[in-house]
Amino acid sequence: MQRDLIRYATTDSLTGFLNRRAFFADAIEACSAADAGSPFSVILFDVDRFKRINDEHGHQAGDLVLAKLGASVRTVSEGLVGRLGGEEFCLLLSSDLADAIEVAENLRQSIKALDFTEIGSFEVTCSFGVAEWESGDTIDRILRRADIAMYEAKNTGRDRVIAADSFVVTDRHDKWRGVARAATTRKQ
């Protein structure tokens, strides 16, 4: 019974991923290995136009999208995955940037191929931001870079993978918004 209560308290019921609180507790622990020199990358992703799915097909359709997305992610990667809120997710990998980009691209294709004919005819895509651990990083910093990359993917057409090292971080990014900042500012 205690194991069940712990599982319910730490797991998102729709996707089977860690919930936000449990994810960040594990993420901080995972960063210790990265500090010791192990490869470490983050994939932050978000369902494109999720509100439209809920508005046009109902919240039951949105729930099915999240459940199928969860199953799809588990078949592509064995990293630590958390549902950070709504339709936003984070995957932590013990890999370098090139491997993380490959995982993100496989996820992008897998999610895009999902079939929802039982509730309507529509396609689901995601935008991905990928960042690799850098010396002196914290979970906040790496998530910030991944968040900026994810929003760059959204701003340049959605349904794509953008690596944090593929664009210059400028002063305009000092005012960034997104799930990574909202999730991590309380940790400081």
Encode pLDDT of 67-92 as tens digits.
999 999 999 888 899 999 999 999 99
Select from 148, 39, 140 the least CA-distant residue to 93.
39
**Catalytic: which of 87, 88, 132, 152?**
87
pLDDT score, position 187:
33
Q: Where along the chain do its domains lie?
A: 2-187
Answer whether residue 136 shows pLDDT above 70: yes
d(CA 100, CA 65): 23
d(CA 59, CA 158): 22
87 in catalytic set: yes
Task: Note the pTM of the prediction, 2 decimals.
Answer: 0.85
Domain 2-187 fold is Alpha-Beta Plaits (3.30.70)
Answer whether residue 158 shows pLDDT above 90: yes
